[in-house]
Each structure stands twice: as C-alpha cells, then as structure tokens.
Chain A
Amino acid sequence: MQDALHIGGKALSSRLFIGTGKYSRNTLIPEVIARSGSEVITVALRRVDPSSREENILSHIPQQMTLLPNTSGARTAEEAVRIARLARAAGMGNWVKIEVINDQRYLLPDNLETIRATEILAAEGFIVLPYMSPDLSAAFRLRDAGAAAVMPLGAPIGSNRGLRTKELISILIEEAGLPVIVDAGIGRPSEAAEAMEMGAAAVLLNTAIATARDPLGMAEAFRGAVAAGRQAYLAGLGPIQQEAEASSPLTGFLNV
C-alpha cells in the first residue's frame, strides 16, 4: 500500500477519520462510511447499548472498520480509564481516543488528566489516541507515555470554525515526533485540505458531515479534500514568495 498511515500496527489508506455522534439516524452511517472512504470511526462508549439490537450504534458499523471508542463524558483520568476498559470488555478492540473534558462550556480537553490516562492505558496495551489542546510539551509527554498519535483540536468541538490553532498544530507536526491527527473544529473541506497540506497525518470530523444538508455529499467532499491536501503535501508546496524575485540579481555586480 502506497503512502499508508501506520498506526497501532495497522496500515490505513484513508486519512479521514469520522465520528458517529450527531446523525439524524444511525442507518445513515454505513453510507457515510462508503462515501467518505474512511477506515476509522470513533464511537462514544456512553452511547453504546449492546442490549438494544435496534438502537445499538455498533450494529450499523461494517466489520472492516477500525473502531475508535472514545471516552466522551470522562472528567478525570480515572473515569477515562474505566470507560476505556469497559469499551475493550464490550468487544470494541484496543484502540481508544482519550477525551477528558472538564469544561462543559467549550468542551476543551484537560491535557494533564489526558496524559495520566494515556500513561495507564498505553501500559495496558491500548493503542491510545489522545484528544488534546495543541501544546508541545503536552505532546512530548503524551509521546513518552506511549500515545500512538496526538489529536490536537483545530477549534472547539462542533464550532466548525476551522484551523484556529494552526500555528500551534504546525509546531506539533514538526516537533512532536508522532502522527498528528487534527480533531474538532474543521467545518469545511478546504480546512481539511489545509490541515493535510500542512503535514497532518489525518483529520477527524463529525459535525461538519453529520449536520450538513446532505451528509453523504459532504462525506464525499471531505474524502476528496483530504486526499488532495495529502497529495499536495507529498508533492511539496512551492515556497511562498513575499516579494517578486528580481530577474537579474540586485547584488550581481559584486561578483563581477
């Protein structure tokens, strides 16, 4: 497989991860998956009810998908750990997206608790993908704790405001030493493309697709945008010129 994203022993050809939380019905999910080309899907354990055949979200997710259960609702590292273990016990595999949020107004992640949860869960063999505020030293600690990638936010969850944290994310991409998956805030395909052009390993989206007028059309639009952004990154963007380059050097006379 060319240009695969390697995480947790898997090679993924799609760099678009999607969510499940905000659809008008779960029966849309299989088609969103098909149209987006996504191979990784995040599911809040809190929403999973294995005892309900009809309403169980998992029964709408095709077998080949990599499940990324998330710890949404956790307010402390301990809660996140407990949720992750419940998810594994429920047969959802060993990938986990750590979400520890202590701020119900903006839903911003608590990096400190996230690092603590990552340490514990990585040691237990989980493939840990922590949702975080883009902070380089936190990213280093997450890497050292055993995270498989980091997932910095572009803007607050559900805000569709795009890459507000662009500068910080590009520092993470350059310095963190592990895949950077931009999570939350991306509202438009152009913003997903931009994240990929910057060198993000992948993007994760939910609101932008789930609340679009035509979620299936939007899923496809993001598929194209993520692929285009990735291709541009690989092709190497030309440097941005601040000034027009003089056709004959201005200091050429010095060499004469």
Chain B
Amino acid sequence: MSFYESLMILERIPFKELWQKYTREDVMRALAKEKLDKEDLLALLSPAAGQHLEEMARKAQRITRSHFGHAVQLFTPMYVADYCVNHCTYCSFSAIHDFPRKKLTLEEVEAEAAAIASTGLRHILLLTGESRKDSPVGYVKDCVKVLRKYFSSISIEVNPLSMEEYKELADAGVDGLTLFQEVYHQETYSKLHVKGPKRNFRARLDAPERGCQAGFRSVNIGALLGLYDWRQEAFMTAMHASYLQDRYPGCEISLSPPRFRPYLGSFNPESDVTDRALVQIILAYRLFLPRSGITLSTREPAELRDRLVHLGVTKMSAGVSTEVGGHTSDGGTPQFEISDSRSVPEIRDMLYSSGLQPVFKDWDILAESSMR
C-alpha cells in the first residue's frame, strides 16, 4: 500500500461538481474545527472559501505563531549540475534544450559553498538536473562531504532514488529531501513529461515515502501550481502530506506551493494561479496541517513574499540563483526565472521589520563522518 492506492481512490471524487457544492456554512464549520478532515480541506479549497480568506488568514496566523513562534527558517538552493535526461515541457533543463551544460567540480562546489556560507546561511538545498549518468548518487555524496564543512543542514533535490540510495545519503549527512510531484493529475502528468524516466508517475510519487523510510528528518513535497486545476492539485498535495505524516510521525513533512514561472521554452500553463488562489492554498495547507512546514521560494515576487510570511509560511529561500555555480560565476542557464532576487541581508532585514526572526541555523548534522 502506498499513496498511489489512495490517490486512485481520491481521483474518483467528482471535483468539478463538488467545488460548487460547498457553501459558506461548510467553510465556517471547517474553520471552527480544531482537527480538520478531508471534507474540511475540500471546503477550504472551494470557491466558497475564496470569499473568506480573511477569516482563514486570522486562524492560520494564530496557529502558525503558536506552533512556530516568530521564526522563519532561511535556506538557499545550490545548483551543482544541469544535465537532465528528461523532457519536461515546462523546464529549461529539459534534454531537448540545447545549451552548454555544466557540472561543478568538487573545488567549484567548495567555492560556491564558501560564498553561500559567508552570508550566514547554514541550511542548503543541493540541486541537480535529473541524470543518473551525469550526477549519480556517488557525485551527490561527494558534494555532501564538501557541503557539511560549511552547513549544518543539507537537503537534496535530485532524481528519485531507491530507499537504499536515500539511506546512503542520510548516513552521509543529508537530512532533508525535496521532491515535487509536479502534477498529481495522471493524464496531465503523462502529457507534460514527454520523455525520460520521469514519465514513470508512480516511481516519482512513491519516492518521498522511500525518503521517510530511509530516515530523512524532513521531506518536502509539492505540486507545480499551474499545470492542472490548482484546487485539485492542492488537495492531492495536502492528502499526500497527511498520508506521509500519519505513517512517518518522526519525519517533518513540509509543503511547497511553487507557481509556474517563465523558462527557456514557450509552454504556457492551462491554469492561471492568481495571488488570491495562492493565498487560499497556503491557508488551506496551514489549517489542514497545523504543524507542517510551508516553504516559499523566490518564484514569488518580493512584495507578495513580504505578505505571505504572515500567513503560515515557515521557511523561505534567500539570495537565490537557479544557475549552476551562480554564486561564484555567471553565465549558466537558469532553471527558471526568479522573482525575488533580494540578498540574504535584505531578506533578513525584511523579516525583522515584519516582526519576524530569520533563523539561519535550525539543525546540526548528527551523521558520523570522517570529515568532522
């Protein structure tokens, strides 16, 4: 039994008719409850709830403050390789795009790490394109060895791996896994993932669970919002998170609500996720999963990020470059365009002036290593 079986059942929900059925009363009932169920989540994602964002926001803020206080954890992604064997319709790194690919040497990784660490950040998210050949587990592990000299928490966002491979990386000091399903709607998924191993929907869907089994401390999942109906995608993401949380109570499950961004190609998404929609999604996540982390990337513009930190967000990236080696050189191809290009000190100051505390360090790698 994996989330896939649950998903098959959830897919039978007649979403299109259902969304219209929810009323103000359903939304209010969900808001009055302490422990929300699937029905409440649907109500909070429905058009009816769109009229009650303020009430949702008040409760979301209260819950967030009592569980997380005023702390917002900062991290930054670090791209080490952009080789990719997949063809995803919406991404610059897709194998069909012709641009000079890069993979950092370990010396370059070290220089990049030192540059990022000098900004005070202690949490890093190591990213590669998806290529077992060009950025295999061994390479990721070598990078981790370098990174742990500079960072106190290392997460990875790489192609889905086996449980044993995840375990190997956890033993090397990786404590977090980020893996986006991109699209939970299976038909759309196979349309958008034209070529490569990523076409295997189920292999991807089950990977976060393998990460939990391998002992990662935190697992971050998400749908790339805009690729299919956002209400349904947000619902499936939250159900996936709650599935993992129920089975792996020791693992902190976080959610990301990334919106589709311009990239090298010309694909345009079907579903337009407005700012209001994004707010509704974040609030629904927070109310349904009160203790989950919610991660906000620099895909969102600065002004919007400044508002969203009050509504449930607990982790955000800062000082971001989506290019390989982008912190020490330039000229790489960004995976997508970012919207908030503020530096770490700028984000830190923004948080302080919003009455929030930027947390640069929130973990210590405990895995034994000869490097320590």
Interface residues of A (CB under 8 A from B): 21-26, 45-49, 52, 54-55, 73, 75, 79, 82-83, 86, 102-105, 107, 158-160, 206-207, 210-211
Contacts and interface: CB of A to CB of B under 8 A. Distances in A.
B340 to A, nearest CB: 21
Contacts of B156: none
Contacts of A21: 69, 71
22 contacts: A21-B71, A22-B69, A22-B71, A23-B69, A24-B355, A25-B70, A26-B357, A46-B152, A46-B363, A48-B361, A49-B361, A52-B120, A55-B358, A73-B364, A75-B217, A82-B366, A102-B249, A104-B249, A104-B253, A105-B291, A210-B70, A211-B65
B252 interface: yes
B27 interface: no
B228 to A, nearest CB: 29
Contacts, number: 80
A159 B253 CA distance: 20
Contacts of B120: 52, 54-55
Given A46-B364, A102-B249, A158-B66, A25 B291 contact: no
Contacts of B152: 46, 49
B250 interface: yes
Nearest to A49: B361
Contacts of B252: 104
Nearest to B361: A49
Contact of A107 (B291, B360, B361): B291
A163 to B, nearest CB: 17
Interface string B212-229: 000001000000000000
Interface residues of B, number: 30
A54 B358 CA distance: 12
Contacts of B70: 22-25, 210-211
B249 A73 contact: no
The 9 closest A-B pairs by CB, nearest first: A22-B69, A24-B70, A49-B361, A103-B249, A102-B250, A75-B250, A158-B66, A158-B67, A24-B355
Contact of A211 (B69, B249, B362): B69
Contacts of B122: 49
Interface string B332-371: 0000000000000000000010011111111110100000
Given A55-B120, A79-B366, A105 B360 contact: no
B294 to A, nearest CB: 14
A235 to B, nearest CB: 34
B362 A24 contact: no
Contact of A83 (B67, B69, B364): B364
A31 to B, nearest CB: 15
A85 to B, nearest CB: 10
A25 B352 contact: yes
B298 interface: no
